[in-house]
Amino acid sequence: MNVYKFGGASVRDAEGIRNLARIVEQEQEPLIVVVSAMGKTTNALEGLTRALCEYDLKDFDELYDQVVSTGELQSTRIVSAYLNHQGISNVWIDITQVLITDSTYREAKVNKDVSERLLRSFMRTHPARVYVTQGFIGGTAAGKRTTLGREGSDYTAALLANMLNAKSVTLWKDVPGVMTADPIRHRDAQLLSQLTYDEIEQILARGAQVIHPKTIAPLREKNIPLFVKPFLHPDEAGTIICNPPYSF
């Protein structure tokens, strides 16, 4: 089992979703595809929630999670339907039913043991080679949707990989991999092709935004390699993050 995560930029429009399908088509092994909301949808839904709450902020956080989580539910419905249409048969997982969290809205904490049991049991009763599910969101045992913190889809991918003892996680990004600097602002930024878990954690601790900082721990725990690759050039090697040796 491998885990692929596609961020908002990669699924921002129809061409992005076609590109995702071409990448998924290349993978022959069992796969979980974790998808964010399309483009800047999360920001738009955040704005909508603020507007709704203008006069009554009492339940803002709970309402925020109910509204903002629809971005991922919608994008994954579209991706799943398109993959099925293209002959890449897959099962859509409503992760709010299996990734069980507490009710710390906007920063919910995952109950890994319960979630792992529910996820494995769902996959047993819905066998498929490819699953499509949402990043960033979860749900309480009482059935309320929650969110794990902005840009949290990388973290979801790592958690699912940890629970399922996946072989690898690939984050498909709009950059060539992890770079020495932000390539948009620094034209001389260089690709870092190999990093250890310690090295990436140091880079993230200095404020680099390339990967959500909570992503590394669940992978390090199970020694699962993390690939960061450009979704527009899927054949490039990108960055591999793991403990050496770096041979796969």
Measure the CA–CA gap between 32 and 137, rounded to whole angstroms.
Answer: 15
Burial of 65 (0-12, 13-18, 19+ CB in 10 A): buried
Binding region for ligand ASP (CB under 6 A) out of 100-108, 149-157, 215-223, 236-244: 149-157
Q: Which of 8, 16, 39, 218 binds Mg ion (CB under 5 A)?
A: 8
Measure the CA–CA gap between 157 and 73, rounded to whole angstroms.
Answer: 16
Binding region for ligand ASP (CB under 6 A) out of 22-30, 83-91, 148-156, 189-197: 148-156
The amino acid at 227 = F
Binding region for ligand ASP (CB under 6 A) out of 55-63, 81-89, 144-152, 187-195: 144-152
Residue 198 has a CB neighbour count (10 Å cut-off) of 11
The amino acid at 79 = V
Question: Minimal CA–CA distance to 29: which of 214, 215, 164?
Answer: 164
- Taking the least distance from each CB to Mg ion, the nearer of 8 and 218 is 8
Peptide bond before residue 245 is cis, with ω within 30 degrees of 0: yes
- Establish if 153 lies at the interface with ligand ASP (CB under 6 A): yes
- Establish if 36 lies at the interface with Mg ion (CB under 5 A): yes
Binding region for Mg ion (CB under 5 A) out of 3-11, 50-58, 87-95, 126-134: 3-11
Q: Which of 2, 36, 69, 134 binds ligand ASP (CB under 6 A)?
A: 36
Identify whether the C-beta of residue 68 lies closer than 8 Å to the C-beta of residue 96. Answer: no
Site for Mg ion in 81-120 (CB under 5 A): none
Site for ligand ASP in 63-122 (CB under 6 A): 71
Identify whether the C-beta of residue 237 lies closer than 8 Å to the C-beta of residue 179. Answer: no
Using CB under 6 A as the criterion, which residues of the chain lie in contact with ligand ASP when the complex forms? Answer: 7-8, 36-37, 42, 71, 135-136, 150-153
